[in-house]
Amino acid sequence: MRYGTNSSPRRGLLRMSEVILAGPPEWVFFDVGETLIRPWPSFAGAIVEICASEGVELSDDEAHAVADARLRKFLDFVRELEGGSFSDDPKRSRNFWTKFYQGFLGEMGMEPDLAAHLSTVIYDEMTQPHRYRVFDDAKPLMDLLAARGIKMAVVSNWEAFLDDMLDGLGIGHHFEVRAISGIEGIEKPNPEIFRRALERAGAHPSTVVHIGDDPRSDAEPASGLGMGAIIIDRRNRHPEREWPTVESLSEVPALLGLE
Ligand SMILES: [Mg+2]
């Protein structure tokens, strides 16, 4: 089948490189952040809570607006702040995120010394599992895929602690294969991390669909290797709709021909 054509006529034009699978995939690869799990209560909400715990009150509305603008340009920040990657090395991860949080707090009008201090507090707190939750639409999809005998993997730009956290969040048992940048030392959009996952899965790209929230880190490299690609866009961050796009994971079974 060709993903996202007649079943979603309101979506944008598909790329010519779009993979056509003859039937349901044998594997589904998942990105993790903003695809399966999210910061709790939200990226901005977590920062507001952590600052409050340090005695610093921030405007919740303003924090959400600043977060939204910065997360839309996330890969630009990765290039600007750490030269192109952020999660493939522990030191680079800390450097990137503390600079990212400092910039965030600076945009909120905070003076630099306090922002520098709070950025390290936020970084440490955001490596804790209690700061993350699984999206409500993720478990039903994974349960359905498992019931249909479709295997699952994660391909994620995340620090090494994600490996334990997937288990702690109760979804780790779904993933026969895991390629996590903080463990691999290589991160998306480098196709090598997808190649490693494919090799471990023993899967041909044409039997795999990758689902992620970032066109440049997820859909482009996966499609470039010959995999099917679906973008999950929960917050209308990519209105151009260059790829088969869903707004909820509950729409995925139809796209995979599983309904
Ligand atoms: Mg993501």
Domain housing 124: 39-131
Query: CA 111, 61, 126, 212: dihedral to nearest 10 degrees?
Result: -130
Query: How many angstroms separate the alpha carbon of residue 107 from the centre of ligand 1?
Result: 23
Query: How many angstroms separate the alpha carbon of residue 51 from the centre of ligand 1?
Result: 25
| SS3 label, residue 156 | strand
Q: Is residue 6 part of a domain?
A: no
Per-residue pLDDT tens for 82-141?
888 999 999 999 999 999 999 999 999 999 999 999 999 999 999 999 999 999 999 999
**Angstrom distance (rounded) from CA 107 to CA 109:** 5
Average pLDDT (199-224) is 96
Query: How many angstroms separate the alpha carbon of residue 212 from the centre of ligand 1?
Result: 6
How many folded domains does the chain comprise?
A: 2
Query: How many angstroms separate the alpha carbon of residue 34 from the centre of ligand 1?
Result: 5
Query: How many angstroms separate the alpha carbon of residue 224 from the centre of ligand 1?
Result: 18
Per-residue pLDDT tens for 34-91?
999 999 999 999 999 999 999 999 999 999 999 999 998 998 999 999 888 999 999 9
Neighbours of ion ligand 1 (CB under 5 A): 31, 33-34, 213
DSSP string of 193-235, one letter each residue: HHHHHHHHHT--GGGEEEEES-IIIIIHHHHHTT-EEEEE-TT
**Angstrom distance (rounded) from CA 195 to CA 2:** 23
Q: Is residue 203 part of a domain?
A: yes
Query: How many angstroms separate the alpha carbon of residue 106 from the centre of ligand 1?
Result: 25
| SS3 label, residue 139 | helix
Query: How many angstroms separate the alpha carbon of residue 68 from the centre of ligand 1?
Result: 14
* pLDDT value at residue 255: 87
Cβ atoms of 243 and 216 within 8 Å: the answer is: no
Q: Is residue 162 part of a domain?
A: yes
**Angstrom distance (rounded) from CA 85 to CA 75:** 9
Name the band, by pLDDT with cuts 50, 70 and 90, for residue 182: very high
Q: Is residue 117 part of a domain?
A: yes
Query: How many angstroms separate the alpha carbon of residue 176 from the centre of ligand 1?
Result: 19
Tell me: do 230 and 175 sit in the same domain.
Answer: yes
Q: Is residue 90 part of a domain?
A: yes
